[in-house]
């Protein structure tokens, strides 16, 4: 639920892998989140520039044209303080504390493959006061 509003949390999921979006978006929706999926950082930034607001952003780490870290830095300029989860299939990827230095906000790192239920738990941990 959205922070103190009783409304579903608004979640933006950004990943260049369409099958992953087609799996995670409905799973998160079924768990009560209001989900918008974007296949690229450019599509997600266009949504943000159009006034879309989110409570949490989930982004793939390695995407073509713009990395997840670069995307999140741009997203944070538009929605300061929004918490984020970086998704990665790379087992050698940096840890969340290291990513926080590059992103400059509340960030969790979640390894792929991941289920909607596991992401819901990660979201709940991330947004706790």
Q: Do residues 35 and 28 lie in contact, with contact meaning Cβ atoms separated by under 8 Å?
A: yes
Domain residue extents for the chain = 10-127
Among residues 64, 69, 105, the alpha carbon closest in space to that of 87 is found at 69
Three-class SS of residue 98?
A: helix
pLDDT tens for 31-85 read 999 999 999 999 999 999 999 999 999 999 999 999 998 999 999 999 999 999 9
- Residue 88: asked if its preceding bond is cis (omega within 30°), the reply is no
Q: What is the pLDDT of residue 109?
A: 86
- Taking the whole predicted model, whether its pTM rises above 0.95 is answered as no
CATH of domain 10-127: 3.40.50.2300
Angle, helices 68-78/96-103, rounded to nearest 10 degrees: 50
In this structure, of 1-5, 9-13, 20-24, the range with the lowest mean pLDDT score is 1-5
Q: What percent of the chain has pLDDT over 70?
A: 85
């Amino acid at each position: 639920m959205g922070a103190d509003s009783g409304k579903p949390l608004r979640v933006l999921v950004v990943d260049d892998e369409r099958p992953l979006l087609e799996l995670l978006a409905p799973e998160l929706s079924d768990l009560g989140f209001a989900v918008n999926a974007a296949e690229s950082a450019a599509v997600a930034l266009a949504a943000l520039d159009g006034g879309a607001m989110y409570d949490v952003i989930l982004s793939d780490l390695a995407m073509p044209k713009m990395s997840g870290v670069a995307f999140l830095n741009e997203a944070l300029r538009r929605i300061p303080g929004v918490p984020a989860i970086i998704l990665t299939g790379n087992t050698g990827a940096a840890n969340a504390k290291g990513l926080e230095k590059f992103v400059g906000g509340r960030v969790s790192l979640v390894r792929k493959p991941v289920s909607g239920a596991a992401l819901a738990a990660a979201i709940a941990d991330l947004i706790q006061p």
